[in-house]
Chains A and B, each alone.
Chain A
Amino acid sequence: MVGIWEVLDRAINTGPVMSSTEFDTKVFETATKLAKEHDIKYDPASPLPSDDGILDRIFEAGLNLYTEVGTYCMSTERVIKFSEAEIKDGLRDVSSEIEIGDGLEKRKLFQRKTEDQRTPLYLGGLIESNPQEGEIFVKLYQSIAQEKIVDGFYFGPPHTIEGKLARFGSPLEAHAHRCACMWVREALRRAGRPGLHLLSASPSAAGEMSGCNPEDGVRKSDAITVAVTSELKTDYVLLMKVVHSLRYGCTRNAFWTPCIGGFAGGPESAVVVSIADALQAVMVYQIRMTGYVNPASTSIRVLANSARNQQWMRNSAIQALQKKTNLIVCGGSMTSAGPGTEQHLLECALSTIGVIASGGHIAHGIRKAKVVKRNQGSGLEVRFQAEVARAVAGLKRKDANDIETELLKRVETNLDPDKAPEGKGFEELYDLGSLTPKKEYLETYNSVKKELQEIGIPVQ
């Protein structure tokens, strides 16, 4: 087993030196070549594919890619390489079941399979919703924690603290994340769910370090998120988070977003990169005895992952990973439209169906690709996403593909984030006294649920 100290030695001291440009080009050329060699073809008619034959080939190509190129450490310009035997050894250590959360909120997070009938866990929440500091932060996350259907959620720091801009990596940002942890804990207490699992997402390592505290911060039953920078890259900030979480004893959630049209190439090679990203999560980020992963996606044309080619890519990656590894795989939704709008909920639904039918749980939750307002999110769309996730568990992929295709028809011509409906902020969506959704938002929520029922989603 290649442990973290050996990984760091390769990143810091012994890995071969290479320019970033050379590495990027190598990833593109190798992934493109491997996709062709393994006959991986994108099928626009199946954004939620159900061809099991392709999954072995996708995984094999990803394994070959990662063995060939490795991970690039941007801080040292060194490549962290592993042999195929080392990678396979690492994969054998991956747990298919872990415990998260604490006390009454303890949950068993397990590897789901495609078309799995078991109820998925919902570890959603809001990603980059531009939350404000203080009481409004507590209320925003309380609106999520009070939803019984939620098993955990994602959060990050506010962008200002003590009225000052909290710049990345600064002491103010570390303080902002420390406060965010305390406010989220307060939200959990107010919701009567102090042990709920949290996914902590500070951009900097200093933020994560200052946020860890068994009393009023990130606990050992929580997770720290670690990104694979596109494509197949890491740096000291991310590696510091890994070292810190290993020493502290909390789990890790690794995520990645291969960019279609960028150095990941087309959807066929991007799915190969996505598998290699998973292997980076296992080897470099040590998602082994503990941890879970989020294969996500983006593209140079459509930032949100509601686009058809991204859906195919992400759903294929989830299916290949659940078939060929023990990894516990999850997914979320990055939408073009903002909260409070019909399109936002439809985009959430289509991504959620893909993740669940492909063998994932929901983690990270929802993000508007381009946040334009403060506090852009609320507990209601989180409830909606969790309800859809539960409703579609057990759906056959072919049936789920028909539903996803139907939903795509309704949104895919309006995915430009500058043109899609921008949505509303928390204060516009919720009554902050009673902490309940306002009438207008509830009407939108109910009407979209009815729309989903009409196209075959048995959402309650």
Chain B
Amino acid sequence: MLGTIGLSEEIFGEMKEAVIEGDAKRAEALAKKALEMNIDPVKSIEQGFAAGVREVGQRFECGEAFIPNLFMAGNAMKAGMGVLEKAIPAADSKQFTRGKIVIATVAGDIHDLGKTLVSTMLNSNGFEVNDLGVDAPVSKILDAARDKKADIIALSSLMTITLPGQRDVIDELKRRGVREQFRVLVGGGATSEKWAADIGADGYSPDAKGAVSKAMKLVEAPPH
């Protein structure tokens, strides 16, 4: 028994390391190995892959890691999770998703970076994120939110000239009569708390870390 625990801890350490290094192939191989060794997949996720993501997140907070490190860590975790999730009963797997988020930079704006950072941080913190990329038309965002049964729609805009694209999404949600089904979170260089209030968004964050906290609060809050 002690031997099995030792082996588990060894593989959890390797999983953590694979995520920190952003090595998706290694993460996938380790997940398969863990299943072959009958190691509890839930523990593999919690003590292996998620521990790696937490470590990269901490390094990011200290300025020792950058967006691409988070991004690659998220991808490595996703690769490992892809293998492990199949072995977890559906009821148990729900606990790994905090909520579903559709995220995009609004129409006319091709700035990718801030949105990708938020997307990566949300992903690393347990949200299921559907990233629609940049220059996303209103209908594409709303259709994806409906199809993915999103809890939150997150919208980025860097330029003041494209800012109204965020309001357009909220207006269209109202026009379609589905505003109460989604929480809307806005951010990006051109936005502010006041802008968020003016357009009737449910939340605003000036940075990625704040966006994660805000998203967590929004999914816990009662519906509109």
Q: Interface on A for B, CB 8 Å cutoff?
A: 20-21, 24-25, 28-29, 74, 128, 130, 159, 165-169, 173, 203, 229-230, 235, 259, 261-263, 265-266, 300-301, 303, 369-372, 416-418
Contacts and interface: CB of A to CB of B under 8 A. Distances in A.
B110 A370 contact: no
B108 A168 contact: yes
Interface stretch (B76-84, B143-151, B155-163, B211-219): B155-163
A300 B112 CA distance: 12
Contact of A262 (B117, B162, B206): B117
**Interface majority SS (helix, strand, loop, mixed), chain A:** loop
Given A369-B189, A418-B192, A28 B161 contact: no
A259 B160 contact: no
B164 interface: yes
A361 B209 CA distance: 37
A7 B212 CA distance: 41
**Interface majority SS (helix, strand, loop, mixed), chain B:** loop
Which of under 10, 10 to 19, 20 to 34, or 35 or more describes the interface residues of B? 20 to 34
21 contacts: A21-B71, A24-B71, A128-B159, A128-B160, A159-B160, A165-B164, A167-B108, A167-B161, A167-B162, A173-B161, A203-B161, A230-B112, A262-B113, A263-B66, A263-B68, A265-B66, A300-B66, A300-B113, A300-B114, A301-B63, A418-B193
Nearest to A156: B161
B160 A263 contact: no
B192 A370 contact: yes
A118 B45 CA distance: 62
A362 B165 CA distance: 33
Given A128-B160, A166-B161, A203-B161, A74 B68 contact: no
Given A167-B108, A229-B110, A372 B192 contact: yes
B189 A300 contact: no
A235 B189 CA distance: 21
B189 A167 contact: no
Nearest to A238: B110
A357 to B, nearest CB: 27
Contacts of B67: 261-263, 300
A300 B189 CA distance: 10
A303 B68 contact: no
Interface string B50-74: 0000000000000100111001100
B68 A24 contact: yes
A103 B117 CA distance: 49
